[in-house]
Amino acid sequence: MRVGVLALQGAFREHLLMLGSLGADTLKVTKSEHLAGLDALILPGGESTAMVRIAAGTDLFATLRERMADGLPVFGTCAGLILLADRLSDDSLGGYDRLGGLDVTVARNAYGRQRESFTTPLTVRGLDEPVEGTFIRAPQILELGPGTEVLSRHDNVPVRVRQGSVWGASFHPELGTDGRIHAEFLHQLGAAA
């Protein structure tokens, strides 16, 4: 199982380490050629404004959209969720191209500024014990389309969702040492293969 991590900016190293510790082959993805031969891709947290600017003028997002349309499983965390959201509540990313593909409306930074970052136990479907969710200037999922299922909630707000082969989380499952969200993602990929 070869899983790429978009490595334009942000917490890609932590995802690579987490995936590696779970036995997955990993690849840092910085250009469209890297997408060939991947079984799945993770879009990390970080700063979505930086990611869209770095990707602008390249064929990376257009090629990735094609791969997603062909069924490449993709999991976006935090800024990665912002890239995947079909709709943003404001136009703070300007006219920059994003990916889309996940039928949600997302508000950037809706959980507050850096100093309002927090961790909280999250009940996760399929896991007996809660995971510690880390929210850092996190996006909030405001609306979901009918084909999008909720996998985890915080204060009754969806924080982890799935629409077919596209997963999104508002928080950072790659921070800390708890690899259960990644393990579950890999398990789902195995189940899909």
Active centre residues (catalytic)? 78, 172, 174
Establish if 170 lies at the interface with ligand GLN (CB under 6 A).
Answer: no
Question: Given candidates 15, 108, 154, 160, which one binds ligand GLN under the rule CB under 6 A?
Answer: 108
> Least Å distance between CB 70 and ligand GLN?
27
Strand extents, DSSP E, 8-165: 25-29, 40-43, 74-77, 85-88, 102-107, 118-122, 131-135, 140-144, 149-154, 157-163
Q: Please give the distance of CA 31 from its chain centroid, rounded to a whole number.
A: 18
The set of residues, in sequence order, having a beta carbon less than 8 Å from that of 146 and lying 6+ positions away, is 103
> Least Å distance between CB 2 and ligand GLN?
24
Question: Given candidates 46, 76, 101, 179, which one binds ligand GLN under the rule CB under 6 A?
Answer: 46
> Least Å distance between CB 137 and ligand GLN?
4
Question: Given candidates 24, 27, 38, 45, which one binds ligand GLN under the rule CB under 6 A?
Answer: 45
Binding-site residues for L-glutamine, in ranges, read 46-48, 108, 136-137
45/179 with CB nearer ligand GLN? 45
Kindly list the residues in this chain that would bind ligand GLN in the complex (CB under 6 A). Answer: 45-48, 78-79, 82, 108-109, 136-137
